[in-house]
């Protein structure tokens, strides 16, 4: 089916609108759907009502996702719409799959906070390595500034070894 | 020994401290996307991570008897939501019965430790030991920016919730608790009823816990909570002092009547039990009576809850039969306590 707006491309977004009892059907290609969204004609009026967390999710700007191409979580197959409806994620991987979409909600819940607490052992090791690297780089900078080249060479080797791990 | 049978710090105001860590395995979805087979796999994995060798015992919760499940809720060892699950779930408990790991609750793992009185450090240390054992053999979902990944985004970060059960009779009698409840968000606390989310406060028992889980360290959560509940405890103690100063006779009468009912009543329902518990516990805290201790009273309250009482009877009971047995347990326990 061709897009009813441009009559050129294949339609991928199908949308039915009923205003005051008058029904209008749209069959749009993704470009025309995006253009309509820009003209402030929201194709998907707030579908998430009800639960509190769900409504937190709903204030995420809704981009048009042609139904066929609706993004799914790589592990559990949940769509962002499903997450918004339940107010909870489908699996741990949803946080990666929908990082961008979840960001406004997480900001609202936790502010711009970044995790500072404990971490699983293997991350903890990585975290300490990163901290060590930062301190070595700082010392290297100082060594170069004070022209302590022998010390700088030693530090450079240490940094290389740490990066290589 | 179970937590309520031991004497904890600051027992006059604090009944218990519970620490909960939410943890999840990377390769499994959450309910409702988690299949029964997936849930069973998770249970097996946790079971082998927290094995018998380390002193943990495993309890299959899936087909467990309702009274048994409810009794663990009454003891605050598992959540009410967990007891109502029909899909595969299990519990792993440690030797001293203070660490309970709920498997396949809202999160794949909820590591909990409950201690008598106010002991957040002790509870956190014990929960961490189980957390470390799990971390050593399982792949836990974690993101460097977001922290521990949880089913509900509100628990992200540390996944740590510290809840303290506070006994606040003076703030309840004077109605001051309402103004405190209105100011909780300012000090980073939320309040729940006696038995968890959405429940009413009975027996002057209130459960306070931290709101923030992300962007702070576990130690910061602990010290913020210590300060916040400490201020509530101070107001409670001061209000008790004022009450005693101005209304000693009325209070004494109330406490002694409650003691009298415990010693002699023939039928007691749960509502009355909570009232008696609160009045006598307040009497002990104010120095009006010394016949019973906090652990004895806390144990009595839990022992006389419907499901725990049913287990004690060894058969299902009608409500009047239960009320009769409850009164009997109260009478005999008071006699023993006063010997």
**Domain-by-domain residue ranges, chain B?**
249-337
Kindly state the average pLDDT of the residues A11-30: 73
Q: Residue B325 pLDDT > 70, yes or no? A: yes
User: What is the per-residue pLDDT for A125?
Assistant: 81
User: What is the per-residue pLDDT for B149?
Assistant: 96
Chain A neighbors of B151, CB-CB under 8 A = 88-89
A interface with B, Cβ–Cβ < 8 A, is: 53, 75-78, 87-93, 95-96, 102, 105-106, 109-111, 113-121, 123, 127
Higher-pLDDT residue of A102, B197:
A102
Q: Is B59 on the interface with A (CB under 8 A)?
A: no
Separation between Cα atoms, residue B41 and residue B60, nearest integer Å: 13
Separation between Cα atoms, residue B188 and residue B210, nearest integer Å: 6
ipTM greater than 0.95: no
Where does the pLDDT of residue A49 fall: very low under 50, low under 70, confident under 90, or very high at 90 and above? very low
Give yes or no for a contact between B326 and B275, defined as CB atoms under 8 angstroms apart. Answer: no
User: What is the per-residue pLDDT for B86?
Assistant: 87
Give yes or no for a contact between B15 and B76, defined as CB atoms under 8 angstroms apart. Answer: no
Q: Residue B109 pLDDT > 60, yes or no? A: yes
Q: Residue B25 pLDDT > 90, yes or no? A: yes
CA distance B233 to chain A (A): 28
Where does the pLDDT of residue A6 fall: very low under 50, low under 70, confident under 90, or very high at 90 and above? confident
Give yes or no for a contact between A13 and A68, defined as CB atoms under 8 angstroms apart. Answer: no
User: What is the per-residue pLDDT for B62?
Assistant: 87
User: What is the per-residue pLDDT for A122?
Assistant: 85
Sign of CA dihedral B241, B242, B247, B253: negative
Closest Cβ opposite residue B143 in set A95, A111, A116 = A95
Indicate the range of A101-105, B52-56, B179-183, B238-242 predicted with least confidence: B52-56
User: What is the per-residue pLDDT for A4?
Assistant: 81
User: What is the per-residue pLDDT for A45?
Assistant: 42
Q: Residue B305 pLDDT > 60, yes or no? A: yes
CA distance A152 to chain B (A): 31
Q: Residue B105 pLDDT > 90, yes or no? A: yes
Higher-pLDDT residue of A44, B159:
B159
Separation between Cα atoms, residue B289 and residue A6, nearest integer Å: 87
User: What is the per-residue pLDDT for B246?
Assistant: 94
Q: What are the beta bridge partners of residue A25?
A: A16
Kindly state the average pLDDT of the residues A72-90: 91
User: What is the per-residue pLDDT for B338?
Assistant: 80
Which CA distances in Å does A136 have to A128, A150, A151, B90, B201? 12, 15, 11, 48, 56
Where does the pLDDT of residue B194 fall: very low under 50, low under 70, confident under 90, or very high at 90 and above? low
Which CA distances in Å does B144 have to A90, B113, B222? 20, 26, 22
Higher-pLDDT residue of A6, A89:
A89
The model carries a pTM of 0.80
Q: Residue A40 pLDDT > 80, yes or no? A: no
CB atoms within 10 A of CB A33: 25
**Contact yes or no for B157 and A115 at CB 8 A:** yes
Kindly state the average pLDDT of the residues A148-159: 90
Q: Is B151 on the interface with A (CB under 8 A)?
A: yes
Q: Residue A72 pLDDT > 70, yes or no? A: yes
Q: What is the pLDDT of residues B39-66, one digit of tens each?
A: 999 999 998 888 776 788 888 888 888 8
């Amino acid at each position: 089916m061709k897009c009813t707006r441009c009559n050129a491309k294949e339609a991928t977004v199908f949308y039915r609108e009923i205003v005051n009892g008058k029904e209008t059907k749209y069959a749009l290609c993704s470009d025309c759907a995006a253009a309509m969204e820009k003209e402030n004609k929201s194709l998907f009026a707030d579908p998430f009502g009800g639960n509190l967390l769900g409504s937190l999710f709903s204030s995420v700007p809704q981009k048009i996702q042609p139904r066929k191409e609706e993004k799914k979580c790589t592990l559990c197959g949940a769509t962002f719409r499903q997450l918004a409806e339940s107010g909870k994620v489908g699996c741990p991987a949803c946080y990666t799959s929908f990082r961008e979409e979840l960001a406004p909600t997480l900001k609202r819940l936790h502010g711009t906070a970044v995790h500072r607490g404990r971490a699983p052992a293997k991350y903890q090791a990585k975290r300490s390595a990163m901290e060590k690297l930062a301190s070595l780089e700082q010392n290297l900078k100082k060594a170069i500034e004070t022209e302590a080249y022998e010390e700088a060479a030693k530090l450079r080797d240490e940094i290389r070894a740490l990066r290589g791990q | 020994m179970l937590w309520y049978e031991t004497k904890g710090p600051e027992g006059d105001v604090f009944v218990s401290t519970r620490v909960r860590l939410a943890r999840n395995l990377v390769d499994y979805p959450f309910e409702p996307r988690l299949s029964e087979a997936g849930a069973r796999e998770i249970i097996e994995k946790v079971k082998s991570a927290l094995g018998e060798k380390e002193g943990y015992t495993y309890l299959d919760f899936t087909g467990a008897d309702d009274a048994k499940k409810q009794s663990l809720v009454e003891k605050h060892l598992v959540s009410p939501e967990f007891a109502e699950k029909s899909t595969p779930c299990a519990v792993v408990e440690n030797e001293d019965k203070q660490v309970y790991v709920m498997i396949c609750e809202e999160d794949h793992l909820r590591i909990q430790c409950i201690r008598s009185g106010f002991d957040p450090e002790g509870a956190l240390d014990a929960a961490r030991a189980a957390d470390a054992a799990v971390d050593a053999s399982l792949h836990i979902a974690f993101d460097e920016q977001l922290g521990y990944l949880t089913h509900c985004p509100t628990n992200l970060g540390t996944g740590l919730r510290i809840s303290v059960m506070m006994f606040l009779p003076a703030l309840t009698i004077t109605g001051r608790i309402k103004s405190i409840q209105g100011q909780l968000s300012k000090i980073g606390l939320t309040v729940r009823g006696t038995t968890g989310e959405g429940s009413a406060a009975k027996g002057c028992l209130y459960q306070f816990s931290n709101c923030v889980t992300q962007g702070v360290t576990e130690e910061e959560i602990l010290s913020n909570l210590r300060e916040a509940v400490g201020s509530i405890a101070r107001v409670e103690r001061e209000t008790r002092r004022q009450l005693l100063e101005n209304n000693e006779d009325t209070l004494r009468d109330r406490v002694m009547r409650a003691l009298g009912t415990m010693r002699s009543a023939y039928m007691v329902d749960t509502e009355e039990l909570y009232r008696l518990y609160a009045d006598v516990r307040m009497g002990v805290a104010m120095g009006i009576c010394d016949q019973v201790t906090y652990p004895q009273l806390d144990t009595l309250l839990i022992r006389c809850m419907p499901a725990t009482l049913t287990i004690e009877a060894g058969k299902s009971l009608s409500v009047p039969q239960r009320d009769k047995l409850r009164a009997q347990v109260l009478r005999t326990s008071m006699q023993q306590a006063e010997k």
